[in-house]
Chains A and B, each alone.
Chain A
Amino acid sequence: MQKVTTVIIGAGQSGLAMSRELTCCGVDHVVLDRGAVANAWRRDRWDSLRLLTPNWANGLPGAQYPGSYPDGYMPVAEFARWLDAYANMIDAPVQRYTEVHRVSGTGTGFNLETSSGPLGCRTLVLASGACARPYVPSLSAAVPTRILQTTPATYKRPHDLPPGGVLVVGASASGAQIAREIQTSGRPVTLAVGWHTRLPRTYRGRDVEWWLDLLGILDERFDEVDDLQRARRTPSPQLVGGPEPVDLNALQDCGIEIVGRLADIRNGSALFSGGLANACVSADLKMNRLLDAIDGWIEERGMGNELPPPDRPEPVRLPATQPLARGLNDGTIHTIVWATGYRPDFSWLDLPVFDARGRLRHHGGVVAAPGLYAMGLNFMRRRRSHQISGVGGDACELSDHLHAYLNGRIETAA
């Protein structure tokens, strides 16, 4: 069997950043991907998607944004090409079109069964991403068969959908963006809104990402936050890589009807929660606390006069009564888009490293099996861990840990 010191599974930004760090420490390794570099960015996203973070924020270790639009938002296809160039630049040992079927422990390392044959290693890095698989709630089984069901991983463009009404379930970044473009294509959209995160694209003349970065919010560490599980569940903000707002007011202005969280499907009807107002009020309060913190930061430094004055986005407008049910058999809804989040996919990982709810047990990316590491998960080591800007810092710290483990300086993983 072929052996290598370290295997990295996934050749996206996380896997490549880790590869660069391991090359720097002289750890021989291979990066496996089921497709080409940046496979998920190429295949599992919709056409119009751009990165949510501006170009200046998307540097990788040893490679800052080289282009002339630092404040722009890169289409994901362009980002995929950039990752390809990065892989070449760092000379990453990527083995393409190699799917991992199973990983098991040997006591001193790991055995991988792959589509290119077996492979053994001492240390393993899981870099297949936090968004490997769209999550679809089990109640989708009750959707009548005549309705087309899709997810942000399979949906590509509005014109692929049948004419007629569309129910988009979920109003985070994916759902809000997809809802808007489908509505604009002439298909009337109903958007089911649960807990969500609202952020303005810009605040006081700067991209909100600039403020999150400057105030150190993105650098909050996993061992410093109050409730890590809650922080890890925070939905992605209602943002788009561009200037157009996709908050619930903007979406309603496009003609989208907003309803409460999809609570159940019963007797052919989708039933929505009556708690929509609280979900909206909660998101507005949370957004305003962040904007208060930004104002406080500016005030403390006496910079208020150099910047546009504080303002607050209009609170979400809600119709006096929202529908609590929508028939799925009356011919009005033709498509359902499940924008209900993503999950990592470790179904091939045959190791006792999962909690009762099937989540990977790890301490800041150091997984509960010696020699096993994760990358790119939500709030893994810091708030920015799942962002492109987060992989550099995490790869640096985890490669140090991995290197020390290989040298016998760390007995067991945390």
Chain B
Amino acid sequence: MNKQMETANVDNGVDVEALLGAKKVIESMPEAGQFTWRAHCKWSDGVRSQSTVQGFFGLGEEQARKAAFVVEADHPEQFAATDAAPTPVEIVLSALASCLTAGVAAVAQNRGIQLKSVQATVEGDMDMAGILGADADVRNGFNAVRVSFDIDADAKPDEIAALVAQSQKRSAVFDIVTNPTNVHVSVV
């Protein structure tokens, strides 16, 4: 079932060979697989901030990016804010959708499935009584997240469902959102 199919005519723009090569490297040298991702956030004004993403550590050394990428965050006017950028929770939802979508493309390439279009809609339900401190029994975060994929591809419905399933199985952000992580916050 999981045999690699003919991929000659399929091009989703994912270099699967390179990814499989990286897997081999990390299997033989586990320390090369130890990565540290970073972002640097600077308060702008009000509830607005600007995060810069530049280098990361991986493959045993510091890695540079082509540019310093900037991610803005703000809050909507309903929260008495300037609404100049998405809220952090919307950035989380975007990150989940982007991670799963990248996974769908990579898995499709590996399985020889040509994608025509992939769209994902993400929703996260939240009870504001949590973050506003109005009800101690309500959590701050999402009480449910839904992702809905609309995929047009040369494949049967079960094959498309399997792409989405495998994408979740290998998604970093899906794991981050669904499983606990130890978070240490310090002040310098």
Give the interface segment out of B62-70, B114-122, B126-134, B165-173.
B165-173
Is there contact, CB below 8 Å, between A273 and B3? no
Q: Which of B36-44, B75-83, B176-184 contacts A (4 or more CB under 8 A)?
A: B176-184
Whether B177 pairs with A278 at a CB distance below 8 angstroms is no
Assembly CA distance A187 to B160 (angstroms): 40
Q: Which one of A261, A263, A321 has the greatest number of beta carbons of chain B within 10 Å?
A: A263
Provide the bound-state CA to CA distance between A281 and B168, in Å: 11
The 8 A CB mask of B102-114 against A (1 = contact, 0 = none) is: 0000000000000
In Å, the complex CA distance between A281 and B174 comes to: 15
A345 to B77, CA, bound (A): 62
Q: Which of A261, A273, A282, A356 contacts B30 (CB 8 A)?
A: A356
* Interface residue? B188 (CB, 8 A): no
- CB neighbours (8 Å) of B174 from chain A are 275, 278
Residue of B nearest to A293 (CB): B1
Residues of A within 8 A of B178 (CB): 260, 273-275
- Least CB distance from B6 to A in Å reads 14
Tell which of A264, A273, A274 has the most Cβ of chain B within 10 Å.
Answer: A274
Measured CB to CB, the closest approach of chain A to B138, in angstroms, equals 14
Q: In the docked arrangement, what's the CA distance between A275 and B175, Å? A: 8
Q: How far is the CB of A195 from chain B (nearest CB, A)?
A: 8
**A226: interface (CB < 8 Å):** yes
Contacts of A273 in B (CB 8 A): 178-179
Give the shortest distance, in Å, between A357 (CB) and chain B (any CB).
Answer: 8
Residues of B within 8 A of A278 (CB): 165, 168-169, 174
> Within the assembled complex, what's the spacing in Å between the Cα atoms of A116 and B174?
54
Q: Is the CB of A285 within 8 A of B161?
A: yes
Residue among B1, B162, B168 making CB contact with A275, cutoff 8 Å: B168
Distance (whole angstroms) from the CB of B102 to the closest CB of chain A: 16
- Which listed residue, B162, B165, B180, touches A271 by the CB 8 Å rule? B180
How near does chain B come to A361, taking the closest CB pair, in angstroms?
13
Judged by a CB distance under 8 angstroms, whether A286 is at the interface is: yes
Whether B179 contacts A275 by the Cβ 8 Å rule is: yes
A288 at the interface (CB under 8 A from B): yes
B186 interface residue, CB < 8 Å from A? no
Residue of B nearest to A285 (CB): B162
**Chain B: minimal CB distance from A70 (Å):** 29
- Tell me if A227 is interfacial: C-beta within 8 Å of chain B: yes
Main secondary structure of the interface of B (DSSP, over half): helix
Q: Which of B161, B162, B177, B179 has the most A CB atoms < 10 Å from its CB?
A: B179
Q: A226-B4, A281-B165 are in contact. Are A288 and B158 (CB under 8 A)?
A: yes
Q: Does A266 contact B (CB under 8 A)?
A: yes
* Across-interface contacts of B148 in A (CB, < 8 A): none
For A286, the chain B residues whose CB sits under 8 A away are 1
**Interface Cβ pair total, 8 Å cutoff:** 50
Cβ of A101 < 8 Å from any Cβ of B?
no
Enumerate chain A residues within 8 angstroms of B162, measured Cβ to Cβ. Answer: 282, 285, 289
Q: How far apart sit A400 and B166, CA to CA, in the bound complex (Å)?
A: 41
* Known interface pairs A285-B165, A286-B1, A321-B144; A274-B158 also in contact (CB < 8 Å): no
| Complex Cα–Cα for A237 and B106 (A) | 28
Question: Which residues of A in the span 394-411 have a Cβ within 8 Å of any Cβ on B?
Answer: none
- Chain B residues within 8 Å of A263, by CB: 179-180
Q: Does B9 contact A (CB under 8 A)?
A: no
Given contacts A226-B2, A356-B30, contact A282 B179 (CB under 8 A): no
Cβ–Cβ contact B180 & A226, under 8 A: no
In whole angstroms, what is the CA distance A293 to B158 when docked? Answer: 14
CB closest chain-A residue, reference B23: A227
In the bound complex, residues from chain B placing their C-beta under 8 Å from that of A266 are 180
Residues of A within 8 A of B1 (CB): 286, 289-290, 293
Which residues in window 277-299 of A have CB below 8 A to B? 278, 281-282, 285-286, 288-290, 293
| A260, A282, A290: the one within 8 Å of B169 (CB) | A282
Q: Residues of A contacting B177 with CB < 8 Å? A: 274
Contacts of B158 in A (CB 8 A): 285, 288-289
Q: Tell me the complex Cα distance, A226–B162, Å.
A: 17
Contacts of B180 in A (CB 8 A): 263-264, 266, 271
Q: Tell me the smallest distance from the CB of A262 to a CB of chain B, in Å.
A: 10
Which B residues lie within 8 Å of A288 (CB)? 158
In the A-B complex, the 3 residue pairs with the closest CB atoms:
A274-B178, A275-B178, A278-B168
Q: Which residues of B does A touch, CB under 8 Å?
A: 1-4, 30, 143-145, 158, 161-162, 165-166, 168-169, 174-175, 177-180
Measured CB to CB, the residues of A under 8 A from B are 195, 226-227, 230, 260-261, 263-264, 266, 271, 273-275, 278, 281-282, 285-286, 288-290, 293, 321, 356
**Beyond known contacts A266-B180, A274-B177, A285-B162: 4 more, CB 8 A cutoff:** A226-B2, A260-B178, A281-B165, A282-B169
24 contacts between A and B (CB under 8 A): A195-B169, A260-B178, A261-B179, A263-B180, A264-B180, A271-B179, A273-B178, A274-B177, A274-B178, A275-B179, A278-B174, A281-B161, A281-B165, A282-B162, A282-B165, A282-B169, A285-B158, A285-B165, A289-B158, A290-B1, A293-B1, A321-B143, A321-B144, A356-B30
